Amino acid sequence: MPKIISNYIGGRFVDSNKRFRNVNPVDGGTVAEVCEASAADVDAAVQAARAAMAGPWGRMPVAERAQWLHRIADGIEARFENFVAAEVADTGRPVRQARTLDVPRGIANFRFFADLIKTAHTECFETATASGERAFNYTVRKPLGVIAAISPWNLPILLFSWKVAPALALGNAVVAKPSEETPSSAALLAEVAHEIGLPPGVFNVLHGFGSGSTGEFMTRHPGIDAVTFTGESRTGAAIMKTVADGVKDISFELGGKNAAIVFADADFDKAVDGVVRSSFTNSGQVCLCSERVLVHRSIFDRFVAAMKAKTEALQLGFPMDERTDIGPQISKEHQAKVAAYFQLAREEGATVVTGGEIPRFGDARDNGSWVRPTIWTGLPDSARCLREEVFGPVCHIAPFDTDEEAVARANDSDYGLATAIWTQDITRAHNIAQRMRSGLVWINTWYLRDLRTPFGGVRMSGIGREGGRHSLDFYSETTNICVKL
């Protein structure tokens, strides 16, 4: 019998008769049966969260809240290998990524915001009055209330904790929904919260789908005070419409169609390695991945040949094999979506440098959701394959001649999340970075993060910023207090 993943509501694990299958994308096997939360379950979770806010949690001193976050981090560390196994089973990602990035970052998120909230400061101003007396104006942070946190499937524990940790640090209660594709690590986090005795209702985990299911029930609920969402731009637009009447605070990190720009003076080998990484990490299923690569014409042919060789050397393997570089797509549905772009690219006139197919292994992986890492050339910038987010292991490499051309083409997108610039000319790097219409710019690196810095995109890539004080600003209300002396 497969294990059952329950909802966690008001400090209790709650089953339901309506369940769905959690599928291992490596071989199509069943990881678990997951209980889908009903509208009544959502209401119960929201009411439990509101009760927690009215109780001791809502009045708890900052230092005590910080201790709770450190206890959660301790709980994840104590069950480190369980979290690794959950991430691998749900996503098929290489185990070394889960061990070195996903689970450590989940721990770090709780510790970072636990420490940040203890040192966060507010403003204070001395004010002269018309009568010549003085007043002091100071601000205080207060919790927003009950936060609906909806996270995606591509980096499950990393992005789930990225929302939950700051929300709890600021004294909010959370009703959280992981992706239906990757419920296991969120369920484990609920177990950790339960084991350490986190007050009931402070943290609730609900499972289910989006439209017409748990996600929509959450965002429509009048007891929700704010919504933080990471996922597709279309879903973000739908949530905006849902919460508009209630004028609820939102923070959206949405899709990307990111550019990498490689100049002639770049360190060639580092640029090739960097673009391979930025295009194919996590099988291309990262919103920050580079799907559009612009390379100076003088090194274009050499760069394409080097990318081809490096890409074809990537190992598609079982996740527990330490030699594995590339895992599967998250689901059969997503595999079909990426494969449809393979066909579309050919119809639009692309040259397939490598990949562009569903591999056959002759073993259990043939029942999974695999696609081969793919490089295209030869498409015009107007091609759908260069306008729409594929969210798979694909990139298109195109030549450019001038800096102005590179900037214009990199910015020619409905999205604006991240840009990677590869050059050894530091003046050029700084000047071009400031002209990029994206929320993040990396110079001679990719996916190097400092949790104190703002994270988010522009245009269809999102609304708002999180990270460091930017998360504090979103997950709290500031009140000005004026005292006349």
Domains of the chain, start order: 3-254+460-484 (3.40.605.10), 258-450 (3.40.309.10)
- Which regions of 100-234 does DSSP assign to beta strands (E)? 124-128, 134-143, 146-150, 173-177, 203-205, 226-230
- What sections of 281-402 are H helices per DSSP? 300-312, 332-347, 384-387
> What does the alpha-carbon distance between residue 5 and residue 2 come to, in Å, rounded to a whole number?
10
253 is catalytic: yes
Q: Which of 36, 87, 181, 253 is catalytic?
A: 253
Q: 285-311: string of b/e by CB count within 10 Å (b at 16+)?
A: bbbbbbbbbbbbeebbeebbebbeebb
- Contact between 144 and 170 under an 8 Å Cβ cutoff? The reply is yes
Amino acid at 76: I
Q: Which of 36, 87, 181, 287 is catalytic?
A: 287
> What does the alpha-carbon distance between residue 26 and residue 318 come to, in Å, rounded to a whole number?
7
159: left (phi over 0), alpha (psi -120 to 50) or beta: alpha
Q: What is the chain's pLDDT, residue by residue, as a tens digit (485 residues)?
A: 579 999 999 999 999 989 999 999 999 999 999 999 999 999 999 999 999 999 999 899 999 999 999 999 999 999 999 999 999 999 999 999 999 999 999 999 999 999 999 988 888 999 998 888 999 999 999 999 999 999 999 999 999 999 999 999 999 999 999 999 999 999 999 999 999 999 999 999 999 999 899 999 999 999 999 999 999 888 999 998 988 888 898 999 999 999 999 999 999 999 999 999 999 999 999 999 999 999 999 999 999 999 999 999 999 999 999 999 999 999 999 999 999 999 999 999 999 999 999 999 999 999 999 999 999 999 999 999 999 999 999 999 999 999 999 999 999 999 999 999 999 999 999 999 999 999 999 999 999 999 999 999 999 999 999 999 999 999 999 999 999 98
Q: Quote the tokens at residue 454.
A: 């703002």
The torsion of the CA quartet 6, 9, 13, 14, rounded to 10 degrees, works out to -60
Q: Quote the tokens at residue 424.
A: 């050894």
- What sections of 176-261 are H helices per DSSP? 184-196, 214-220, 233-244
**pTM of the predicted protein model:** 0.94
404 is catalytic: no
Q: Quote the tokens at residue 400.
A: 């450019």
Q: For the chain, report the end-to-end CA distance as a whole number of angstroms.
A: 70
